[in-house]
Structure 1
């Protein structure tokens, strides 16, 4: 058998690896991961641009640093690394592929102790293309580079990573370095600040003892931790907490932790600032996945469910260590996982149903209250319209027999009929023909009633048809009047035509129509109310 050694074309491979799909936040976090792995207690990140539009990104740390051998290994594609399976950077590619996804010149300046001169190694893609060789540049650090390494390392070991010749961060602007490009860069900075605060929360929060504390700064300002579960809020409720033992491939046993939190509604947070920080919306519901205390995949249901508003208060914390990398199929960018069939089934069928019910209940309670508040004035025009025409449309007489028992007698063209009819008082002047109520027995959408002696329709604001069809149109007087007129005419027709033999059929009809409407609007979107 013949064998032949076929090394890859360096320029083709390097250029090809620029397109591995890194977004900016993920790519820069990959560099920060290396600083965390180096046991740094301080990490400084800089994202800068000069007046000509030339951009520079640097990450400095006071970690263990590298000697010449370790530096060369670290700059090797597919490097061996230190073989520590707990490392956040675990594939030996992140430093290179994440960096060159956005820059054409990657430099690493490092020292493994305070009493040695720093070393520098550079991958320059333009140089590699020119010489068509895997030629790493070993250079002397500039005074500028030494200065920024020293600012963070402060007479100790440390590393400075620099992205130069950045060509993929922003689009080209007519005025390079001008206010529009600076504004776009500021958005990138703000986005990464929020991203880093979220994924390194356990490291940044001195109150969280699950990970060692790290000081992390971006452009000279501290990055604040963002805990998606807001456990410090009095009304945050942990509704499930399990530690599950798992046997891995070699027969050893490990475990993962999964907890479910139902957050308060916006109006129930302790302060307006806390409510704003919690970012209660569809995007932030779901499972937050942590590997070795670093968030690797936020706010997703992993294909189990779609994101719906009534689960916007539910957030799941899922934590595991490196021993479960294979079971969870962690990808090279550490940006997602795929659960194997057994774990997927456990989370989907056994763990999530109860927390989803709790989140739905809390959402619905507040939603019903808000819908009721918004509906209070929505039917005024309908009441005025019916008031002007009601006498001309009168087709049945109603006499109250026993107000306490809701017993009435209806006289229509079929004769006299004894029925039970809700007898109510208006809650506001003029609301005597169409009255919104929080609920109706049996979940009916509507039913007839007497309000201040007037034939009226009660409309159930707790029915899904009301929240999904009425509520989005509350500002449209014509549509609301049209729907109100339809329901009022149905109760008027019911009272005109009922007899002793048909009176129960009318109630059955309302029940069936209400049930069918509930099903028909099931897939319609939930309304966005004013507070949302």
Structure 2
């Protein structure tokens, strides 16, 4: 006879329902979880109303014209861990989202629904105060629905099935204000509305865009204004540089596929106008992999731990799309906002798919940066040139004369005698630029080299060298710093010409190479420059 006893041990209602408020939902993610339910219920119209009354009490309503629910369906939907939907492709996944997403921000969640246009709506409510009072999983059913919610349902789904999700006693959306109806509180609520609109426009882009045939069309309104689709890839303006669809075999011998596409966006100055550049939301934070499950964005602008974000990859955005068959491969969390790649997918992305797009995006960024730097950096060395001109006589130095302009040979007379050596002989690119001259490249990647610029002892500085990129660029608008850097470089060039001899000229070349190499190593850990930001 077995000694094992079976004991039903239900959790404490108040502790669990209150504890589930702290699942880590962000407001935008929580609302999207509810919109998922509307889309899963075949709605093509979703309206959201976020507002506060004169006393500052916040209410959120999300209404749709989807399939709606009868009494049994409503009770199931309100159950924690509700029964799975018939379709595995549903945007809903665990049967927890509606409840945990809502009570993360409110203490009273109601769902008002009807299965058709002839059946009266029914309201079901989780009231956390009531659950605590009776200490039971006590769902409240009411045939008398909230009047405002019912009016909204009739407007969104006139004579049709539909559902309204209502949040009341919203206590965790904005911080406590002494005057809940005052201007600061209203401003904070407006910021939440704006952030939600941006989030919905990105998450449901494929549903909102009537030209996108991958997902059914759904119209979403927020406080009476349409939510407009935002395409993170700006596919009409960007370049598709990689596109692969991969078939994979699942452990249960089924097959599934995923699609990866890499886009490189134009640089800001390459967009047709400021409005288009603004719409693209160009920033370092927006680079990365955007992951779509069943055409719904579930994770955005992140390299998933494969790489760090860096300015030279600002224009690279990668689309990764899969269906529900690959859910286990991504270890989706309850909020559908955090995923973990399995090792095979991570390896494929890092070692195969992303290598070429990252290299191309990096090259284009650096080329574009050089063009922008040349434009924005014009005149950055003018003050240095003027200062050196005023102090050139006092600084002294050797006499340098051109011996053969065709071969670049010059004669240098210094305190050690006369030396004939090859020297870059050039003219000024800008008026007065005869002592310090920035150039886009120097042989062997040197940072600097002595030069004879319109007869003046000068120095050419390589703007492509990492030292210039990471030290000069952030300081192009700082006159004193620029003069200090340029004066040091010019002094090194003049000192070399003042001491060079026939048998030491190769040593000086080696020294310049070593200085350039060492400085490149020393600045490796410095942040990459953002020309758009660092150079006004």
The verdict on a shared fold, with TM-score over 0.5 as the criterion, is: yes
Take 1:460 and 1:469, find their aligned partners in 2: how far apart are those partners?
12
**Match in the other structure for 2:77:** 74
**Match in the other structure for 1:12:** 15
**Match in the other structure for 2:330:** 328
Of 218, 222, 231, 2:222 maps to: 218
| Compared CA separation, residues 495 and 59, structure 1 to 2 (3 A) | same
Contact 1:73 1:81 in 2 (8 A): no
**Match in the other structure for 2:365:** 363
Take 2:302 and 2:211, find their aligned partners in 1: how far apart are those partners?
26
* Structure 1 residue matching 2:531: 3-state secondary structure: coil
Take 1:375 and 1:221, find their aligned partners in 2: how far apart are those partners?
44
Contact 1:286 1:299 in 2 (8 A): yes
Take 2:216 and 2:405, find their aligned partners in 1: how far apart are those partners?
71
Detail structure 1 runs of 4+ shifted over 6 Å in the superposition: none
Q: Does residue 39 of structure 2 align to residue 39 of structure 1?
A: no
Take 1:482 and 1:96, find their aligned partners in 2: how far apart are those partners?
62
**Match in the other structure for 1:52:** 55
RMSD value over aligned CA atoms? 1.3
Of 182, 185, 206, 2:210 maps to: 206
- How far off is 1:531 after superposition? 5.9
Take 2:357 and 2:66, find their aligned partners in 1: how far apart are those partners?
41
Which shows bigger deviation, 471-480 or 485-494? 471-480
Contact 1:105 1:122 in 2 (8 A): yes
Which shows bigger deviation, 408-417 or 76-85? 408-417
Q: Does residue 28 of structure 2 align to residue 25 of structure 1?
A: yes
- How far off is 1:435 after superposition? 1.2
Q: What are the Cα deviations for residues 278-314 of structure 1, in whole angstroms up to 9, with x where unaligned?
A: 1111110000000000000000000111111111110
**Match in the other structure for 2:316:** 314
**Match in the other structure for 1:102:** 105
* Structure 2 residue matching 1:170: 3-state secondary structure: coil
Of 107, 120, 123, 1:120 maps to: 123
**Match in the other structure for 1:154:** 158
Which shows bigger deviation, 201-210 or 474-483? 474-483
Take 2:271 and 2:481, find their aligned partners in 1: how far apart are those partners?
35
Contact 2:61 2:149 in 1 (8 A): no
Q: What are the Cα deviations for residues 68-123 of structure 1, in whole angstroms up to 9, with x where unaligned?
A: 11111111110113242111111000000000001111111111111111111111
Take 2:120 and 2:341, find their aligned partners in 1: how far apart are those partners?
47
**Match in the other structure for 2:340:** 338
Take 1:448 and 1:20, find their aligned partners in 2: how far apart are those partners?
64
* Structure 2 residue matching 1:6: 3-state secondary structure: coil
**Match in the other structure for 1:278:** 280
* Structure 1 residue matching 2:401: 3-state secondary structure: strand
Of 250, 253, 257, 1:251 maps to: 253
- How far off is 1:530 after superposition? 4.8
| Compared CA separation, residues 210 and 38, structure 1 to 2 (3 A) | same
Q: How many residues align?
A: 530
**Match in the other structure for 2:419:** 417
- How far off is 1:434 after superposition? 1.1
Using the size of structure 2 for normalisation, the TM-score is: 0.97
Take 2:477 and 2:149, find their aligned partners in 1: how far apart are those partners?
61
User: Where does 1:125-144 land on structure 2 (aligned, <5 Å)?
Assistant: 125-140=128-143, 141-144=145-148
- How far off is 1:16 after superposition? 0.3
Take 1:343 and 1:120, find their aligned partners in 2: how far apart are those partners?
45
Of 339, 353, 356, 1:354 maps to: 356
| Compared CA separation, residues 244 and 217, structure 1 to 2 (3 A) | same
**Match in the other structure for 1:502:** 504
Take 2:254 and 2:214, find their aligned partners in 1: how far apart are those partners?
23
Take 2:276 and 2:253, find their aligned partners in 1: how far apart are those partners?
45
Take 2:84 and 2:121, find their aligned partners in 1: how far apart are those partners?
20
* Structure 2 residue matching 1:238: 3-state secondary structure: strand
Q: What are the Cα deviations for residues 21-71 of structure 1, in whole angstroms up to 9, with x where unaligned?
A: 001000111110000100101000110111101111011001011111111
Contact 1:259 1:316 in 2 (8 A): yes
Q: Does residue 249 of structure 2 align to residue 240 of structure 1?
A: no
Q: What are the Cα deviations for residues 345-396 of structure 1, in whole angstroms up to 9, with x where unaligned?
A: 1111111111111111111112112222333222222222222232343332
Which shows bigger deviation, 347-356 or 414-423? 414-423
Q: What are the Cα deviations for residues 250-280 of structure 1, in whole angstroms up to 9, with x where unaligned?
A: 0111110001000000111122111001111
* Structure 2 residue matching 1:135: 3-state secondary structure: coil
**Match in the other structure for 2:96:** 93
Using the size of structure 1 for normalisation, the TM-score is: 0.97
Take 1:42 and 1:519, find their aligned partners in 2: how far apart are those partners?
58
Contact 1:74 1:81 in 2 (8 A): no
Which shows bigger deviation, 269-278 or 16-25? 269-278
* Structure 2 residue matching 1:120: 3-state secondary structure: strand
Take 1:392 and 1:110, find their aligned partners in 2: how far apart are those partners?
89
**Match in the other structure for 2:270:** 268
**Match in the other structure for 1:446:** 448
* Structure 2 residue matching 1:164: 3-state secondary structure: strand
